[in-house]
Structure 1
Amino acid sequence: MFAVYAKEPNPDDPLASLTVGERPDPDLPEGWVKVAVKAASLNMHDIWTLRGVGIKPDQFPMILGCDGAGVLEDGSEVVLHSVINAPDWHGDDTLDPKRTLLTEKYQGSFAEHIVVPARNVLPKPAGLSFAEAATMGTAWLTAYRMLFVKSGLRPGQTFLVQGASGGVATALVQLGRAAGYRVWVTGRTEEKRALAERLGAHQSFESGARLPERVDAVFETVGKATWGHSVKSLKPGGIIVVSGATSGPDAMAELQRVFFLQLRVAGSTMGTREELASLLSYVDLARIRPQIGAELPLEDAERGFRDMQAGETAGKIVFTR
């Protein structure tokens, strides 16, 4: 079958390992289902996989793609949940010590077909296209958990999103505006800030700019480049919810400010199957449509990878079949 895959780990030049070509058709274990992939969205996790982060060398070649949407063999339209748990696990999917994501142990969604455990597919809302639904399982689920599960915010409060144009950031803007929060964002360029305002941000600011007032929460996916600004932007008792560090970790964690102002830092990773079900219901009821920055045929995947690596994004990059 046709697929986009990492042929080997390459920490220094990840795109040199990106391969477009044929891979064997997947076997179908008992209790798993086969999905004909119609759309799959690109995530930073795919760049990390190319680098060999979170995956053992003997797992290569590895088909990339953490999430997607497609059709079961009986014709049902579904969305993928990419957190795969141990068969005997009960509880929060994200806390299972034996959990794995697609592309870490099991082959991913950038292919004609993918096989996943039966519990890892959910019905696709009729109001979402396959391309829109393909953004839900990673970026939007991450944003949903950050905002509604981890932050403890109430509608009417103010939060700041660092880095206005990425997939998680644009999802936070759209989810937060629809739920009644005051949404502020930062962005490196005027175009990125304008995009955030079109999606619902009440105000946008240059990266590192002094804010009109401190905020109740900051949502972080950037890391080193924005961490100091995030800590300084919080009200006493405020919270930073962090789900990534695309610019690298920060060795200067502003710990004095953290303890003196009693700030809280909460980590957040992906989300549960139940949270994905709630997210799909929410976007359908609220008629929210995710921001797709580029929709490309899977054959042109390298172009999407290069844009993501360069930070040239305006929402999610989606590959379609």
Structure 2
Amino acid sequence: MRAAFASAVNPEEPLSGLTLGELPLVVPDGWVPVDVRAASLNHHDIWSLRGVGLPADRLPMVLGCDAAGLDPDGNAVAVYPVVEDKADPRGYSLFSERHPGTLAERLAAPPGNLVRIPDGVSFAEAACLPTAWLTAYRMLVVRGRLAEAGSVLVQGAGGGVATAAVALAVALGKRVYATSRDPGKRERIGRLGATAVEPGARLPERVDIVIESVGAATFDHSMKCSAPGARIVVCGATAGHRADVDLRRVFAMQLEILGSSMGTPDELAALLDLVAAGTVKPVIDSTFPFADTTAAFTRLAEGDVFGKVVVEF
């Protein structure tokens, strides 16, 4: 089968280890094959090519965490990316860490990882959801308790999770503010229905939820923008993991600082239902045929993306 895989790891030039070629499909006992129709890229794939979480003794490794396709009965399914894994210290792993990933014509997955795609949702749209969009959904709806909120701040919009959080919060009827250093991205954020501002800018109100994936560079701003009882939900630290936290503000404002990561299969199903209902539409930056997967990775690595990069088979 055709696949995009890591044949080598290189911390300095990660894309040098990306190979498009043929690999066999191995289906473990109890798993099933999926015919992949679309997959989307994540920065996790770039980190894998750098060797982060992917040691050389696991190569070659098919890349990719997210996919949508057809199960053995011909049903359209999205692939939930988290696999129970007793060999991993976390108790789980993502596709492409210990098990071959989604950037291949065929994928082996546990049946419980396959979530039916409702009518009206394309394979490309469904392939955007399992990692970035599901992370944003859980941050907002579950950890952030969006139903109790009127306003949301999303730090560093433009990337997959942050852009998804903007689109979801707007679609679910909240007042949304989002920061970006890039004027072009601020313009596109505005077209999604949010108020786009420069990093560190004063907001017209304090917000009930902050979506924080940037880290140390924005965390003080996140604290200052938080209303009493606000939830600051953290899923990453792309610009530093050691933030100064004014504990006086935490207790005086009764703030909650909450960690969040991947959602559940049931939450993925709920997110697919929102897309099927027309409530929200995944933001796709660009789409590439499998033959141009290297160009898709280059697009992601250059950092000028707004939304998801999709590869179609």
TM-score, normalization: structure 2?
0.93
What SS does the aligned partner of 1:134 have?
helix
Task: Please report how far the alpha carbon of residue 158 of structure 1 lies from its aligned counterpart in structure 2 after TM superposition.
Answer: 0.7
Could you tell me which of 254, 262, 271 is aligned with 2:254?
262
- Shift in CA distance, 86/62, structure 1 to aligned 2, threshold 3 Å: closer
Task: Please report how far the alpha carbon of residue 232 of structure 1 lies from its aligned counterpart in structure 2 after TM superposition.
Answer: 2.1
Find the counterpart in structure 2 of residue 93 from structure 1.
none
Q: Deviations over 1:285-308 (max 9, x none)?
A: 244211101001122222222222
Q: Which residue identity does 2:238 align to in structure 1? A: T
> Is the 2:149–2:209 contact (alpha carbons within 8 Å) kept by the matching residues of 1?
no
Find the counterpart in structure 1 of residue 74 from structure 2.
75
Task: Please report how far the alpha carbon of residue 144 of structure 1 lies from its aligned counterpart in structure 2 after TM superposition.
Answer: 0.8
Measure, in 1, the Cα distance between the counterparts of 2:223 and 2:301: 26
- Shift in CA distance, 191/235, structure 1 to aligned 2, threshold 3 Å: same
Find the counterpart in structure 1 of residue 18 from structure 2.
18
Structure 2 alignment gaps of length 5 or more: none
> Is the 1:220–1:242 contact (alpha carbons within 8 Å) kept by the matching residues of 2?
yes
> Is the 1:215–1:233 contact (alpha carbons within 8 Å) kept by the matching residues of 2?
yes
1:39 aligns with 2:38: yes
1:275 aligns with 2:275: no
Find the counterpart in structure 1 of residue 131 from structure 2.
138
Q: Which residue identity does 2:276 align to in structure 1? A: D
> Is the 2:219–2:243 contact (alpha carbons within 8 Å) kept by the matching residues of 1?
no
Task: Please report how far the alpha carbon of residue 254 of structure 1 lies from its aligned counterpart in structure 2 after TM superposition.
Answer: 4.3
Q: Deviations over 1:143-164 (max 9, x none)?
A: 1100111012335511101122
Find the counterpart in structure 2 of residue 296 from structure 1.
288
What SS does the aligned partner of 1:225 have?
helix
What SS does the aligned partner of 2:37 have?
strand
Could you tell me which of 202, 206, 216 is aligned with 1:214?
206
Q: Deviations over 1:210-246 (max 9, x none)?
A: 2222211110122233222222221233221111222
Task: Please report how far the alpha carbon of residue 86 of structure 1 lies from its aligned counterpart in structure 2 after TM superposition.
Answer: 4.6
Could you tell me which of 166, 191, 197 is aligned with 2:159?
166
Find the counterpart in structure 1 of residue 3 from structure 2.
3
Q: Deviations over 1:300-319 (max 9, x none)?
A: 22222222222211111101
Q: Which residue identity does 1:7 align to in structure 2? A: S
Q: Deviations over 1:52-76 (max 9, x none)?
A: 2223332122111101101123321
Q: How does 1:96-245 map to 2 (within 5 A)?
A: 97-154=90-147, 157-201=150-194, 203-245=195-237
Task: Please report how far the alpha carbon of residue 115 of structure 1 lies from its aligned counterpart in structure 2 after TM superposition.
Answer: 0.4
Task: Please report how far the alpha carbon of residue 22 of structure 1 lies from its aligned counterpart in structure 2 after TM superposition.
Answer: 2.0
> Is the 1:128–1:289 contact (alpha carbons within 8 Å) kept by the matching residues of 2?
no
Greater CA drift, 206-215 or 137-146: 206-215
- Shift in CA distance, 276/150, structure 1 to aligned 2, threshold 3 Å: same
Find the counterpart in structure 2 of residue 306 from structure 1.
298
Greater CA drift, 28-37 or 128-137: 28-37
What SS does the aligned partner of 2:296 have?
helix
Measure, in 1, the Cα distance between the counterparts of 2:54 and 2:223: 32
Measure, in 1, the Cα distance between the counterparts of 2:99 and 2:161: 23
- Shift in CA distance, 156/262, structure 1 to aligned 2, threshold 3 Å: closer
Q: Deviations over 1:31-70 (max 9, x none)?
A: 2111111110011111121122223332122111101101
Query: How many corresponding residue pairs?
Result: 311
Query: What's the RMSD between the two structures over aligned residues?
Result: 1.9
> Is the 1:155–1:180 contact (alpha carbons within 8 Å) kept by the matching residues of 2?
no
Measure, in 1, the Cα distance between the counterparts of 2:150 and 2:216: 26
Measure, in 2, the Cα distance between the counterparts of 1:289 and 1:12: 35
What SS does the aligned partner of 1:36 have?
strand
Task: Please report how far the alpha carbon of residue 11 of structure 1 lies from its aligned counterpart in structure 2 after TM superposition.
Answer: 2.2
Measure, in 2, the Cα distance between the counterparts of 1:216 and 1:38: 39
Measure, in 1, the Cα distance between the counterparts of 2:149 and 2:254: 22
Structure 1 alignment gaps of length 5 or more: 88-95
> Is the 2:215–2:243 contact (alpha carbons within 8 Å) kept by the matching residues of 1?
no
> Is the 2:158–2:180 contact (alpha carbons within 8 Å) kept by the matching residues of 1?
yes
Measure, in 1, the Cα distance between the counterparts of 2:48 and 2:303: 17
1:49 aligns with 2:41: no
Q: Which residue identity does 1:212 align to in structure 2? A: P
Q: Which residue identity does 2:129 align to in structure 1? A: M
